[in-house]
Each structure stands twice: as structure tokens, then as C-alpha cells.
Amino acid sequence: MFPFGARRAPPSQLPRPIPPFLRETTNSYLYRLAMANQLHPDDLRAHLTGTRHHAAITVECLSAATGRSPHSLLHALPELQPDTTPGTDPPLPTHVRRTICWRCATRRSAFIFAVTWQPAEVTLCPNHRIWLGPPVPAHRGGQYDVTGLPDILRAQRRHYRLARRHGRQTTADAVAEAAHITALWARHGLHADRRRPLIHAFLGHTPLTGRLPSGDPITAVVTYPETIDLARLLATPRWRHPTDPATKREVREFRRDVNHHLAIRYQPQDSPYDPLFRWFRKRHVSATHASTRPADCPAPRRGARVTSGKPSPQRGGTASSLPGSHSKHAAFPSVRSS
């Protein structure tokens, strides 16, 4: 049961064997268990494994130390499940670490910074409407109560629907991409009408410029409704997996869809560095390469360096099609007439 050099008998039971939260990370549970029993986390690990050297925490030793059945521990702690490869992060597909809602923690008299694995689409505590989404509050930070912000509550429901419709992985990818775009918009004060009342709700005022500083902790929550609406568009197969190079007609239709989904006046031609149009362009450049590679790509020369599939300056397009190009036409690099 125990590794060579470690204790051969099970560890004795701890005086306060607190229960784990459902899907709690093993480190979080061990930390809370140590705090509850007034132990240093390293001392608790030594007690469980019988050695001061590195040794894996097993469900058997935890069961002996807490008096909880191996079955219940395996149910609560996914990293201990036998089919999980040690070190796999996350241990469950498309799950992310979320600090548990402080009200749920208080109800259990638990240390408030317990961390659990949650499906990526869970951004609110369903019981207390506490924001759990990114960024995970550091130990110094509090958690936001969004009970009085129906725009955010509705966005969470749309987020769930998106995951059911497109699957968790596609949704997680689209939301991450959309969040990056809306964070840049917030930083530059673009398309701010919908965001402004949310910023006011959190800060008590609205910045005169309408801009949020880079890395502001409220960015993810105040941009969440527009992020989900944009993610819905980015997850659409037509835009996510285009089969042909972009045409002017497609650009017009993409712009129309953006305006419809986000209720904004999106004008990519006026914003050559707009992150959303970069996303559109990147998708279509990939489609261009995919559709032309067999005919256009000669076999690599001997000794040529093998690269990833990412577009590069040497493969397709002109200099004006490259991200960061200063050409006034850079916004429509690979667009051809329909």
C-alpha cells in the first residue's frame, strides 16, 4: 500500500477529518485538512505517506486518516481516481479550477479559498449568484455578488445553452477567444454602451474615457455578457471552420452577424488592428492554406526546417496580410471579390 521506505501501517485518524467538496482539487483538500487539524501542510503529507520525501497521496492513506470510505473520497476528489494519469491538468476534460463561492464555504464552515474543478461554462454559484469565473480571485481578493445584475445572470444561462449546443470544448475555446477580444475592447473603450452600466455597478462610477486599465480585475465580469454573445458567433461552424477564402460578401455578412448578436456598430474596415477582425482573418487564412496546400505548396526542400501549421510570411498572402502590417489595406488582406 505504501511506497518503499514509507510507513507500512496506515496513518492514524486525524482529530478533525473535514469532508471534501465535490470535485475539490487534492491540494486544496490537503491544505484545508492540515489547517483544520492545526498542522503544517508538509507535516500532514508526511503523516499520510510516512515519509518526508516525495510520495504520492493515495486514497487508502486518506481514507485511513479521515475515516471516510475510499468510494466517497474517489467520488469527491477526481485527481485520485485510478484512471487519472498523475499530473494530468485538468483531470477532467474541459474543467477549470474555480475558487468555491465564499457563501457555500461559510455554510460548511470551511476555509474560504477551497478550489474545485468545475465545467468551464460554470461562472456563477448557482445557489448564491457569486461570480466564480476568471480571474480566480487571489487570496487577497473578494468575490463579486452579481445578484442585482440580470445581464450577467442571463449571460450565464446563455453560456450553458452554448455548451449544450456546441459541446464543452468548442464553447470553452470560443469563450476564451471572445474574452480576449472583449477585454481588448474594454481596454480601448470600444463598443462600451452595454459595458458602461456594469462598470458603474462595480466601481460606483464610470471612467471618463470608458476604458478599463489592462488587467483590471472587473474586466472579465463586466465584459461577460458581450463575451458570451460574441462566443456564440465564434462557435458558429460557418465562421469557425470556413471552407473557402473570405470574399467581400462574407465580410459584409460577418459584420452583419456581429452587429446582430452584439447590438453594436462594428466597422472592421475602420479598425485594422481590431482583434475580432484578426480572428476572422486568421480563420480564413487557415482555410486558404487548407484549400490550396495540395496544389500550391511544393514539397519542402531538403534541409528545410519543418514548422507548425501556423501561417507564416513566406506562405501565402502579401506583406499587407500579416498581423501588425501598417498597410492601410491590411484589414482586408485575403479578401477577394465575390
Number of residues that bind Zn ion (CB under 5 A): 6
User: Please, which residue, 55 or 101, has the CB nearer to Zn ion?
Assistant: 101
Q: Annotate each residue in 16-55 with x if it binds Zn ion (CB under 5 A) or - if it does not, as one string.
A: ----------------------------------------
* Shortest separation between residue 318's beta carbon and Zn ion, angstroms: 54
Residue selected from 46, 101, 183, 201 as contacting Zn ion according to rule CB under 5 A: 101
Closest approach of Cβ 147 to Zn ion, in Å? 11
Of 104 and 234, CB closest to Zn ion: 104
Q: What is the DSSP string of 280-332?
A: HHHHHHHHHHHHHHHHH-PPPPTTPPP--SS--TTSSS-GGGSTT---TTTTS
User: Residue 25 CB, nearest distance to Zn ion (Å)?
Assistant: 18
Chain residue whose CB lies nearest Zn ion? 101
Q: Which residues have CB under 8 Å from 231's CB, separation 6+?
A: 159, 162, 171, 174, 175, 177, 178, 179
Interacting span for Zn ion (CB under 5 A) from 96-104, 116-124, 299-307, 315-323:
96-104
User: How far is 21 from 25, CA to CA, in rounded Å?
Assistant: 9
Binding flags for Zn ion, 117-136, as an x/- string (CB under 5 A):
--------x-xx--------
Which of the stretches 101-109, 157-165, 255-263, 328-336 binds Zn ion when contact is defined by CB under 5 A? 101-109
- Least Å from the CB of residue 179 to Zn ion: 23
Q: Which residue has the cell 477577394?
A: 336
Return the closest-CA partner of residue 249 out of 173, 122, 336, 169. Answer: 336
104 part of the interface to Zn ion, by CB under 5 A: yes
DSSP, collapsed to helix, strand or coil, labels residue 73 as helix
* Cβ proximity to Zn ion, 53 vs 107, nearer residue: 107
Q: What are phi and psi of 282, to 5 degrees?
A: -60, -45
Min dist CB 124 to Zn ion, Å, is: 9
Stretch that binds Zn ion, among 75-83, 95-103, 185-193, 320-328 (CB under 5 A): 95-103
3-class DSSP state of 22: coil
Nearest in space to 23 (alpha carbons), one of 132, 130, 157: 132
Q: How far apart are CA 100 and CA 112, in angstroms?
A: 7
CA distance 216 to 183: 9
Residues lying near Zn ion in the complex (CB under 5 A):
101, 103-104, 125, 127-128
